[in-house]
A = this chain, B = another copy of it.
């Protein structure tokens, strides 16, 4: 296939009237449209206004999609213990599959092609299958919670680690290596030391398996860890092996200088989630400082209950403008930097090589967008447009590993209407009362 339009190949390369040629799962050529049309006459041409690398969602909870808007404007602990954890504890396997599909649907519709996905404790298999079926690329993991966690979510340490290992063996490298495994403890607060150390051990035992967890999202979490361990959260994670260039830490809002040095020294990846941090009132992550320290910072939407969308484009705008106002400097986190966070930095965090640019020999994860809108008029700079004005709604074409998932704005790999209808049915029948009661005793 030849995908043509204005090509934003990477943060510093724009090709007007260009083409990306795809053979199998790979990009085989990027360049001038006319020349490549002559060179590859038998490749079908797909025209888009803008052609960009697929976005990487560096921290997503696809299975929380059924909770979009279920608990807005609430205190964090009410949000978590009255809604989010009870919902995760309540969903049946079938419902978890719908939840995951709804998440992947929104992601591929709006331009995310790779996801670092924090599933739930139970029924992770169904999310893996859904991701495989719907064609998204991902680093997925079942959540481990073995302390301070409500019934229906809390597992024994051994049980949690054994189920993780089973899933690694079943899904790591599955679907032509499009789906890989991340060992995913929820966060230090809900995991024992044995559990956290066990996570590191599993990741070391299986080649390419990574670690993905929440870290230092809010001040209460840090106090709890400090009470438990006498250490700051990132220091504790480092102590039990959860730093390193195979580790992705979501949020990192509240870190001190020593912790930041630790992140930099160990090559630990950080995923910034600005919309979530704003809506949950977590705080403003020191992204400019992280970038100054050469920490790899990816970008993520977190879950629909705390965002409330999975749109990677509005998340880019959010990331850029939140740092600008925090630093009182409109030149920080410019479009180029933010675009890198959402593409190559995310790919590096997820551990997929040759991902996040449109370049010969790189993976064919490609998104096309329309600019036939008032919001895209006029359009002086394609990259800047992408970060400050484009939206998931503009996506007309999505390809992962050379397979078309969305074409002419229509999802081709699933029945989008059916997924939405099933999701509404599940949402309408959701009864969280019992799980909410179970969670109350744990609410701090």
Interface residues of A (CB under 8 A from B): 66, 68-70, 72-76, 79, 102, 105-106, 109, 275, 277-284, 307-309, 311, 314, 320-322, 324-325, 327-332, 334-335, 374-375, 377-381, 384-385, 387-389, 391-393, 416, 419-420, 423-424, 426-428
Contacts and interface: CB of A to CB of B under 8 A. Distances in A.
A420 B377 contact: yes
Given A69-B385, A74-B330, A324 B279 contact: yes
A133 B103 CA distance: 43
Contact of A329 (B70, B106, B281): B281
Nearest to A322: B278
A384 B71 CA distance: 9
Contacts of A283: 325, 328
B416 A324 contact: no
A305 to B, nearest CB: 10
A12 to B, nearest CB: 14
Contacts of A69: 378-381, 384-385, 388-389
A426 B378 CA distance: 9
Contact of A375 (B311, B377, B424, B428): B311
Given A73-B330, A375-B392, 15 more contacts: A69-B388, A72-B387, A75-B330, A109-B374, A275-B321, A278-B321, A279-B324, A281-B332, A309-B389, A374-B416, A377-B423, A378-B423, A378-B426, A378-B428, A379-B424
A425 to B, nearest CB: 9
Contacts of A102: 374, 377
B106 A375 contact: yes
Given A74-B331, A424-B377, A388 B279 contact: yes
Contacts of A423: 377-378
Nearest to A218: B328
Can you list the 4 inter-chain pairs with the closest CB atoms, starting with the nearest? A378-B427, A278-B321, A73-B334, A281-B330
A328 B324 CA distance: 18
Contact of A427 (B73, B307, B380): B380
A209 to B, nearest CB: 30
Contacts of A335: 72-73
A281 B324 contact: yes
A79 B321 CA distance: 15
A377 B426 CA distance: 11
A140 B384 CA distance: 30
A307 B320 CA distance: 12
A377 B279 contact: no
13 contacts: A69-B378, A70-B378, A72-B387, A277-B325, A278-B321, A279-B321, A280-B324, A280-B330, A281-B324, A281-B328, A283-B325, A309-B375, A374-B419
- Counting chain B CB atoms within 10 Å of each CB, the highest count among A68, A328, A335, A427 belongs to A68
- Counting chain B CB atoms within 10 Å of each CB, the highest count among A329, A388, A392 belongs to A388
A419 B307 CA distance: 34
